A and B are shown apart, each in its own frame.
Chain A
Amino acid sequence: MSKQKQIGMLLLLASFALVAISCSVASNKEPFFGKTVPPERNIFRYVTGDEPESLDPAISNGQPEARIYMALYDGLVEYHPKTMEPEPALAERWKPNNDSSEFKFYLRRNGRWSNGDPITANDFVYSFRRALTKETASRNAYLAYYIKYAQPFNEQKVFVRDPQTGQFLNAKDFDETTPAEPLAGSPLDSTANAEYSEPDVHLEGRPESEFHKQMHTPLRLTLPGDAKGRTKALDANPKLKAAVAGKEFVPIKAEDIGVEAIDDYTLRISLVQPGPFFVGLLAHQVFRIVPRKVVEKYGSAWTQPQHIVTCGPFKVKTWQPYDKLVVERDPMYWDAATVKLDEIHFYPMSDNPTIMNLYKVGEVDAVLNHTVPNAWLEVVRVKQDYMDGSEAAINYVLINTTQPPMNDVRVRKAFNYSIDKEAWAKWRKIVKPLTAFTPSGIFKDYPQPQGDQFNPEEGRRLLGEAGFPVIKKPDGSYSCPKFPVDQVEYIYNTQESNKAMAEWMQAQWKQNLGITVNLRNMEWRTFLNVRAKLEYKGFSRGAWGADYMDPFTFLSLFYTGGENGTGWVDPKYVAMLDEANRMLDPKKRYELLAKAEKFLIDAQPMIPIDTAATNWVKKPYVKGMYPNAGSLFPWKYVYIERDPAKWDYGVPDMTAD
């Protein structure tokens, strides 16, 4: 009977659905991706990535949060919208001392909190100390470790004092590797300004503060605060143990950190080493200020919308977690006249296709970086609203160097030689091939070293030298029968682009070395755990974006042993970096950093793959937003342009100031 009809009907339905879907494939002819109707009011709707962990700028280290903090909080300096160089914010101007180990910041007088209170240097002192307090548990505290005694304070260490004389023990007497002490080396004059290139008019003749004098005494010895850790440290150094006997331990206090309010509008920061890049670091979220009164009154609930007080161009209007954060223009902001948007709506979302769909239908005006899925690039990259800029970020492959066969540098090099990075970059479309460990073309005047180019012949030779001869089979393919394939794998966290990279690497090694490396994908947190504990064999996906605009943010990944996920550590490398950072001349410093980088890529604890490029979209009517290298945007410059003639057609001009 009519069972056949039922089946027929099913087939009909299925084919109808197929046709409907095939017809609706995105058309390639329009200049922009999806709708381009500006919102009615001056409201900017932005997808910033994952749900913010907190609205407290000291807490989170994520980029999604960083962009929200840039709307809500101000710091001494702010990122330039195009170059990301520091530009004046709450500090009108600043002055380094002769060796860039101490900075004076002159604050503007009209800085105000969103509740109308004035912003003074004391707010900075409080916020820096708070961020470094252990109980705050700031993920970013390490970025402030350049400040004198910030690290030992954050680690709850102690000074050692002689109870008789009241003298503190100095670090350089016990440890040769202590970095040179710039501050201690330049004895203080009676005037505060002698070591600064130009004198301070309004501070002239003022007596030097006790605190500042103390900052210029030799670096004190610090020891672990807990008895167990201390015993361990002392046992390792008999000379130290003898010297410490009979001395008292003084816990390091927040007041010992090298941050001082000279007066209400002058702030001085003393570093533990020369930091020519330090001002650039100050735009980072951890250096943005929080309102003392509110924080002390409400504790961790101070970020709730009913309590929060902010100091940025925008203030919180409403916050529905996981749905949206609405910020509105703050009339109290010192530069409120520049702010053009009435509101910004931040949408926390993390699934890329979902975000792109929202963008396409015009429900959001711009999206975060790396949102356009690889396959979509075919269609989206040719559109005029695609933001293609160079990015201070790299993709690389980590190698677990602690286990054979990867503990042999020849094997590591062989795997590096046999990856055709040019071909990868061509296929990936939005990256540039990379042979070194810093992103190419980001740091001006940095003499980036060159690593090994694609050379499978050399790779096969090295592998043979290491005891794993590669045999050419009659059909032209290779095989490496002696290589212990079960001792290597490639791990990555589940994501479309990571999978593409993993499969590419696998295919390259199979083709050029005849070695099939097993792939293993993991859920994000498991992956991080496995990688950090070196529980993987062979290779692991890695990526890093700059914390600040200096090559050191990349090179420092291998500065401390054990935490870089490769197990590779070399005191020589650390010494080279230290030496570079002691250089006062920026050019010389760059040369030494480049030398260290060359050393790193020769040791090959990782395989550099590519320099990333920005990969996001914004509607053409969004102006004042640029694809800068860190994808961080000072929101006060962003506005909605209603006249199509003035829209951005293509990437906006990044060179004009």
Chain B
Amino acid sequence: MTPDPDLIHASPETAITEGEYVRGTSLWRDAWRRLLKNKLAVFGLVVVTLITLSSLIGPTVIKRATGYTPDYIPTSDTRLIRSFPPFTGPDGQFSWTHPMGTDNAGRDQLARVLQGGQISLFVGIISTLVSLLIGVSYGAIAGYVGGRVDNIMMRVVDVLYSLPYVIVVIVLLSMFRSQTARGQLILLFIALGSVSWLTMARIVRGQVLSLKNQEFVMAAKATGVSTPRIIFRHLVPNTLGPVIVYATLTVPQIMLTEAFLSFLGFGVQAPLASWGSLASDGIQNIAIFPWQLIFPGVTMALTLFSLNFLGDGLRDALDPQMRTT
């Protein structure tokens, strides 16, 4: 996994802009307005929405239109060549049946990419939520309480950071073995979420560290507000800007990790597929049937691309100081 630079430079600036955050709800309206002005971010938002929607309804539509489901293998067709290029029918002529071609077994690539989208997006979002939940509370507590507790909590993060996550995933998947593909998928969420909250925890801690000596926290403390309340009502909301930004960037990270696990063979179970598992299957055939890599790869890249733009836009919108355009 590549370290994300946002981890490094997100912390100092936000504190300076504290004044703007306290303006309350208008901050969000402002941010939304600024986001809409940012054409790239809007582009990202639109593309992500489109891809999500078509992933959700696409497979059903395709089944209605052509009769192909993502896992339908035409075994009655015993011909040797089943991998058809895009827009080519079994007879080699132009056809609308398979706009993205077919895979080795003759399954419709478009249906598979759309179904893969469901899984990849689902994995990305759920695992990000898991990492948000753990990461934010962990980081906030460590940062606010400070001292020895902080030290120990951060060393724990260090330890977890250094663990071989391949082995962690192997152990998780085998200890809680599930018989069904869906069950395996849930395990995958847990496995991915549990290795990806670490960076989030570090970011939140950094934020809280620079926020906790601010006047508004002092004031809350002086008026006798309880510690949990200070953490979750006063501090956490103030870190949300960078957290949301980082969360949008975590989704791609997790999708990449999932893809990499698929590449190693730990991903989703056949006949389900994710973009990652489709792409890693496609790599096997890149020299012969490039469309098997290109379509899942490009769809995935496009989604990540849009998510990154959206993340950038959100950061700019939530943090005017960082705005560069």
Contact surface of A with B, Cβ cutoff 8 Å: 3-4, 6-7, 10, 14, 18, 21-22, 24-26, 352-353, 356-357, 360, 373-376, 378-379, 420, 423, 426-427, 429, 486, 489, 493-496, 499-500, 502-504, 506-508, 511, 518-521, 523, 526, 537
Is there contact, CB below 8 Å, between A26 and B294? no
Main secondary structure of the interface of B (DSSP, over half): loop
Any chain A CB within 8 A of the CB of B321?
no
Residues of A within 8 A of B281 (CB): 496
| Given the contacts A500-B104, A503-B271, A518 and B180 also touching, CB distance less than 8 Å | yes
| Cα-based distance from A7 to B302 in the complex (angstroms) | 12
| Given the contacts A376-B285, A376-B288, A502-B270, A427 and B78 also touching, CB distance less than 8 Å | yes
Q: Closest Cβ of chain B: how far from A477's Cβ, in Å?
A: 12
Is there contact, CB below 8 Å, between A426 and B104? no
Residues of B within 8 A of A374 (CB): 104
Tell me how many residues of B have a C-beta within 8 Å of chain A: 39
Contact surface of B with A, Cβ cutoff 8 Å: 39-40, 43, 73, 75-76, 78, 80-83, 104-105, 170, 173-174, 179-181, 184, 264-266, 269-271, 281, 283-290, 292, 294, 298, 305
Is there contact, CB below 8 Å, between B290 and A373? no
Closest 4 CB pairs of A and B: A494-B265, A3-B39, A375-B285, A507-B73
Main secondary structure of the interface of A (DSSP, over half): helix
| Given the contacts A22-B290, A503-B105, A526-B174, A508 and B284 also touching, CB distance less than 8 Å | no
8 Å CB contact of B287 from A6, A357, A493, A520: A357
Is there contact, CB below 8 Å, between A14 and B298? yes
Using A18-B294, A374-B104, A493-B265 as known contacts, list a sample of 19 further A-B pairs with CB atoms less than 8 Å apart, ordered by residue number in A: A6-B40, A21-B290, A22-B290, A360-B287, A375-B285, A375-B288, A376-B288, A378-B81, A423-B75, A495-B265, A496-B281, A500-B105, A503-B73, A503-B270, A506-B271, A519-B269, A520-B179, A521-B270, A523-B266
Residues of B within 8 A of A526 (CB): 170, 173-174
| Cα-based distance from A356 to B288 in the complex (angstroms) | 12
Q: What are 19 A-B interface contacts by the 8 Å CB criterion?
A: A3-B43, A7-B43, A24-B290, A26-B287, A353-B283, A375-B288, A375-B289, A378-B80, A379-B287, A500-B104, A502-B270, A503-B105, A503-B270, A504-B73, A507-B73, A507-B75, A518-B180, A520-B269, A523-B170
Is there contact, CB below 8 Å, between A519 and B75? no
Residues of B within 8 A of A379 (CB): 287-288
How many residue pairs at the A-B interface have CB separations less than 8 Å? 106
Q: Closest Cβ of chain B: how far from A175's Cβ, in Å?
A: 41
Closest to A4 in B: B39
Residues of A within 8 A of B43 (CB): 3, 7
Closest to A508 in B: B75
Q: Closest Cβ of chain A: how far from B145's Cβ, in Å?
A: 40
8 Å CB contact of B284 from A10, A352, A426, A429: A352
Closest to B270 in A: A519
| Given the contacts A500-B104, A503-B105, A521 and B269 also touching, CB distance less than 8 Å | yes
Is there contact, CB below 8 Å, between B80 and A429? yes
Q: Closest Cβ of chain B: how far from A415's Cβ, in Å?
A: 16
Residues of A within 8 A of B298 (CB): 14, 18
| Cα-based distance from A486 to B290 in the complex (angstroms) | 37
| Given the contacts A426-B78, A429-B80, A520 and B286 also touching, CB distance less than 8 Å | no
| Cα-based distance from A420 to B285 in the complex (angstroms) | 26
Residues of A within 8 A of B81 (CB): 378
Most A-side CB within 10 Å, residue of B287, B290, B298: B287
| Cα-based distance from A22 to B181 in the complex (angstroms) | 34
| Cα-based distance from A519 to B40 in the complex (angstroms) | 42
Q: Closest Cβ of chain A: how far from B301's Cβ, in Å?
A: 8
| Cα-based distance from A507 to B184 in the complex (angstroms) | 21
Is there contact, CB below 8 Å, between B75 and A504? yes
Q: Closest Cβ of chain B: how far from A357's Cβ, in Å?
A: 7
Closest to A6 in B: B40
Residues of A within 8 A of B289 (CB): 375
Is there contact, CB below 8 Å, between A423 and B78? yes
Is there contact, CB below 8 Å, between B284 and A521? no
Is there contact, CB below 8 Å, between B284 and A3? no
Closest to A28 in B: B288
Closest to B47 in A: A7
| Cα-based distance from A25 to B180 in the complex (angstroms) | 38
Is there contact, CB below 8 Å, between A356 and B270? no
Q: Closest Cβ of chain B: how far from A459's Cβ, in Å?
A: 15
Q: Closest Cβ of chain A: how far from B53's Cβ, in Å?
A: 20
Residues of B within 8 A of A494 (CB): 264-266
| Cα-based distance from A22 to B73 in the complex (angstroms) | 25
Is there contact, CB below 8 Å, between B285 and A373? yes
| Cα-based distance from A429 to B83 in the complex (angstroms) | 14
| Cα-based distance from A80 to B184 in the complex (angstroms) | 48
Q: Closest Cβ of chain B: how far from A178's Cβ, in Å?
A: 42
| Cα-based distance from A18 to B297 in the complex (angstroms) | 11
